[in-house]
Amino acid sequence: MARSAARISLGLICILLSCVMEAGAQQHKIGYVDTDYLLSQMSEYESIQHQLHSVSAEWNSELQEMDEEIEQLKEEFQSKKILYTDEQQKKKEQQIQSKVAQRQRYLEQKFGAEGAYFQRQKEFLEPIQRMIFEAVKIVAERQNFDFIFDRAQNAGLLFGGEEFNLNDEVLQELGTTLNESSN
């Protein structure tokens, strides 16, 4: 699956490059940014990360309490198992399974693919991402770039010369100064 996606990406890059080459005399101006780097330079992003960490710590604490309760029920069951009738054993096992299922539902609700954590992350990050993309668009139009790629998270840009790096221009457009710790 990953190979197939890589081949498709490589194919699209080849097509793009061949189109650029076929344009002949027409020169295309290409640049790149690293949105992960841009985000790391924004104080708003740091605040969002802190908020998300606080929320996830609270939910992880709740999960830990559920784990402890389940473990306690299991230990109690094992220590008193010989005293229980078959019916009582089944009832205790069902009680434990019910708690395990409840914990799993909670985990999915909070941290699953459609869970509250990712919903909040999306809610918090969308405005900042819009600001970055708007700043990229402004820089691209001002400096007449035809294409701007995102180097973040291995998005397909294997190499980019520093002269094509637009991170500083985008940060300037955003009105953000460099964090000293990032250099």
pLDDT higher than 60, residue 13: no
> Averaged over 39-64, what is the pLDDT?
93
pLDDT-derived band at 165, boundaries 50, 70, 90: confident
Highest mean pLDDT of the ranges 26-35, 119-128, 146-155 = 119-128
pLDDT-derived band at 166, boundaries 50, 70, 90: confident
> Residue 154's pLDDT is what?
64
> Residue 181's pLDDT is what?
45
> Residue 148's pLDDT is what?
84
Paired tokens of 143: 């400096």
pLDDT higher than 90, residue 146: no
Q: For the chain, what's the residue count?
A: 183
pLDDT higher than 60, residue 4: no
Domain range annotation of the chain: 54-119
3-class DSSP state of 149: strand
> Averaged over 3-30, what is the pLDDT?
54
Strand (E) or helix (H) holding 83: none
pLDDT higher than 50, residue 108: yes
Strand (E) or helix (H) holding 33: strand 30-33
pLDDT-derived band at 160, boundaries 50, 70, 90: low
Say how many C-beta atoms besides its own lie within 10 A of residue 167's C-beta: 20
In DSSP terms, 147 is beta-bridged to: 30
In DSSP terms, 31 is beta-bridged to: 148
Paired tokens of 61: 């604490």
> Residue 128's pLDDT is what?
92
Closest CA to 37 of 137, 136, 146, 121: 136
The more confident residue out of 64 and 141 is 64
> Averaged over 43-51, what is the pLDDT?
92
> Residue 1's pLDDT is what?
46
For the chain, helix, strand, coil in percent to 5 are 75, 5, 20
